[in-house]
Amino acid sequence: MFRCRIIIAIIVFSSVLPADMSNGADSDSRNTPTIILQSSPENPTGRPGCGFKITYRWRAAPLDKDYTVFVHFVDEDGKIVFQDDHQPLMPTSQWSGDVEYTRDVPLEQWRVENKRTVSVELPEGRYPIYAGLYDEKEGRKVLQAGPDVRQVEEGLYQIGVLTIDKQALIPGPGEKTLDLTDYHVTFNEEFDDLSVSAWGPAGSEGMRWIAHTPWRGDFGDARFTDPKPGFPFTVKDGLLRIEVRKENGRWRSGLLSAVDPNGNGFKQQYGYFECRAKFPKGPGTWPAFWLMGLKSLKGLPGNTGPRINPEIDVVEHYGHWPWRYHYVLHQWGRGGVESKHEGKRFVVFGMEEDFHTYGVMIDEQNIVLYFDGVELHRETTPESVKTPLFPLVNLALGPGWPTDKTPNPSYMYVDYVKVWKKGKGRAD
């Protein structure tokens, strides 16, 4: 599984310098102390298992080298309980004026040690925030403390206090940028009823979904199960519930695919694909909303010889890390073609606490990823993706992460799966 870390950040550089920095030569400005200011907010509040937003603030002068920003959150005894050390977006040898940047800081809930799940959730309470600049060889950099900033010791400054509160508000993702004005709906599954069979046929002549991958491949640590009354799918009040549970020592769960092994069902080239869902709490869970091409289906004409089949994991969520949003573009090589896999990881809060929308816009030029209508990522559309795609949604376990503390049963809730296409017209 491809893994990388991206923290969404906003940085603002002011062109106005402090009065004592505005007229000197460059050598003089480097002798002017950088002032460390209070965080904004001064007293952030975070919910366990989620996190909080914090803005770090400086009145900066260019420094002699590039330093690391260290941020320590400490308990009442002064012991460091977690950190947010990072490189500022602008190297400290170049920054000047009023510098502000915002980071999303997660609050750890679980950790894996020796293939076992360990709880690391911090208790509710207040945790002073210590910060400063650091160099591996020279140690802490001496700064000037701004208003209401307390110097704890040389090079160490208290810039605020974090409150951990189980009722804290969950930070939103930002300003919505998705615009579907020129699009019409081509697939609209609102789960007013349950239309699924084990293998099909799918589409207008049969059920809307099948309960397996059409290429007959399971994955993860739970077996995808033929539907039966009450398991693994139920619908009530317009919501689909997918259940994973352990029976006779074996985990079982559910998957929905809009295309069957013969290629029957809904598929579409280009457009906007979206799912509104609420993910289960607990380590080991692995819900996903994703898209596949048809080139992996052996029974379809032309699916022989060298080819590439695309897979777009619009969202994968791992219960061990409730704030991590995973996106992956797979290009599966067939018939001797090399496979390619590229992914991104974002800090996003609240995916287990409430319903959110997970969407991807695909056209000839770009693939654009959205969370609650807010753009998270954009990349050029590979040739392999310029093909009809079909949606899948599932609740899996793993993969490889321990399930020793996975709640039995666990539930994923899906409000809808919808697809839009640009222009006016009827469904394909």
Tokens (6 digits) for 194: 């349950």
Mean pLDDT confidence for 41-68: 96
When pLDDT is cut at 50, 70 and 90, the band that residue 18 belongs to is very low
HEC states along 290-336?
EEEECCCCCCCCCCCCCEEEEEEEEEECCCCCCCEEEEEEEEEEECC
Higher-pLDDT residue of 204 and 271 is 271
Torsion, CA 113, CA 115, CA 121, CA 122, rounded to 10: -10
Q: Who contacts 227 (Cβ-Cβ below 8 Å, separation ≥6)?
A: 194, 196, 197, 198, 211, 233, 254
Q: Is the pLDDT of residue 427 over 50?
A: no
- Rama region for 30: left / alpha / beta (φ>0; ψ in -120 to 50; rest): alpha
Consecutive H or E run containing 199: none
CATH for 183-422 (1.20.1250.20, 2.60.120.200, 3.40.50.1970, 3.40.50.300): 2.60.120.200
What pLDDT sits at residue 385? 98
Give the Cα separation of 350 and 355 in Å (integer).
Answer: 9
Mean pLDDT confidence for 153-169: 97
Question: pLDDT digits over 124-155, tens only?
Answer: 999 999 999 999 999 999 999 999 999 999 99
What pLDDT sits at residue 364? 98
Q: Is the pLDDT of residue 425 over 90?
A: no
Give the Cα separation of 175 and 392 in Å (integer).
Answer: 28
- Distances 409 to 6, 193, 231, 322 between C-alpha atoms, Å: 32, 23, 11, 18
Higher-pLDDT residue of 218 and 233 is 233
Give the Cα separation of 327 and 315 in Å (integer).
Answer: 5
Same CATH fold, 183-422 and 10-164? no
Question: Degrees (nearest 5) of the Cα angle 281, 83, 102?
Answer: 85
Write down the mean pLDDT value for the chain: 91
Q: What are the phi and psi torsion angles at 422 (to 5°)?
A: -70, 140
Give the Cα separation of 208 and 189 in Å (integer).
Answer: 9
Question: pLDDT digits over 303-323, tens only?
Answer: 988 999 999 999 999 999 999
Give the Cα separation of 317 and 410 in Å (integer).
Answer: 14
Q: Is the pLDDT of residue 30 over 80?
A: no
- Residue of 255, 227, 218 whose CA lies nearest to 390: 255
- Which letter does DSSP use for residue 40 in this model? B
Higher-pLDDT residue of 149 and 302 is 149
Q: Who contacts 191 (Cβ-Cβ below 8 Å, separation ≥6)?
A: 235, 238, 239, 240, 414, 415, 416
Q: Who contacts 128 (Cβ-Cβ below 8 Å, separation ≥6)?
A: 73, 74, 158, 160, 161, 162
Q: Who contacts 321 (Cβ-Cβ below 8 Å, separation ≥6)?
A: 106, 110
What pLDDT sits at residue 31? 60
- CATH fold of 10-164 reads Immunoglobulin-like (2.60.40)
What is the residue extent of each domain of the chain? Answer: 10-164, 183-422
Tokens (6 digits) for 68: 């690391």
Give the Cα separation of 47 and 273 in Å (integer).
Answer: 31
What pLDDT sits at residue 128? 98
Q: Count Cβ atoms below 10 Å from residue 425 Cβ, excluding itself.
A: 9
Question: pLDDT digits over 67-110, tens only?
Answer: 999 999 999 999 999 999 999 999 999 999 999 999 999 999 99
Question: pLDDT digits over 345-382, tens only?
Answer: 999 999 999 999 999 999 999 999 999 999 999 999 99
Tokens (6 digits) for 101: 């940047």
